[in-house]
């Protein structure tokens, strides 16, 4: 993995790119995915692999990814309630 734009753009080993949504001053710079969406993909993939060839490690990984997803959703809910979700300016103070 190579970091092209820290926090936003990553070049994977096969040359594909993983691009996250980027905002500056609350304005969208470029579209992309979110942490939550990537974690949901990983959960889905590991659950699929767990059906094909179950193992303890996959089970633990799914559990921890679900925990991470829950914490990120709590963070979003809290920020929405505070009226600061999507406001990048507050994150730099």
Q: Give the range of the structural domain holding residue 72, as residue numbers without chain letter.
A: 34-85
| Domain-located, residue 90 | no
Looking at residue 53, the DSSP 8-state letter turns out to be: S
Q: Which spans in the chain are helix H?
A: 35-52, 56-82
pTM flag (> 0.75): yes
Predicted local distance difference test score (pLDDT) of residue 60:
98
| Domain-located, residue 2 | yes
Lowest mean per-residue pLDDT among 9-23, 34-48, 52-66, 78-92 = 78-92
Indicate if 43 and 28 belong to the same structural domain: no
Name 2's bridge partners: 11
pLDDT per residue as tens digits for the range 24-58: 887 899 999 999 999 999 999 999 999 999 999 99
Per-residue pLDDT at 89 exceeds 90: no
Taking the CB of residue 20, how many other CB atoms lie within 10 A of it? 17
Q: How many domains does the chain have?
A: 2
| Domain-located, residue 1 | yes
| Domain-located, residue 92 | no
φ, ψ of residue 28 in degrees (nearest 5)? -70, 120
Q: What average pLDDT does this structure show over 11-27?
A: 94
Indicate if 74 and 41 belong to the same structural domain: yes
Say if residue 31 is exposed, middle or buried (CB neighbours under 10 Å; 0-12, 13-18, 19+): exposed
Indicate if 51 and 12 belong to the same structural domain: no
Predicted local distance difference test score (pLDDT) of residue 88:
66
């Amino acid at each position: 993995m190579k970091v092209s734009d820290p926090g936003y753009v990553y070049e994977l080993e096969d040359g594909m790119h993983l691009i996250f949504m980027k905002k500056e001053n609350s304005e969208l710079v470029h579209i992309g995915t979110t942490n939550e969406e990537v974690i949901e993909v990983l959960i889905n993939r590991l659950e699929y692999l767990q059906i094909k060839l179950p193992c303890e490690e996959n089970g633990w990984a799914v559990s921890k990814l679900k925990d991470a997803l829950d914490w990120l959703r709590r963070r979003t809910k809290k920020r929405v309630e505070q009226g600061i979700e999507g406001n990048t300016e507050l994150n730099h103070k």
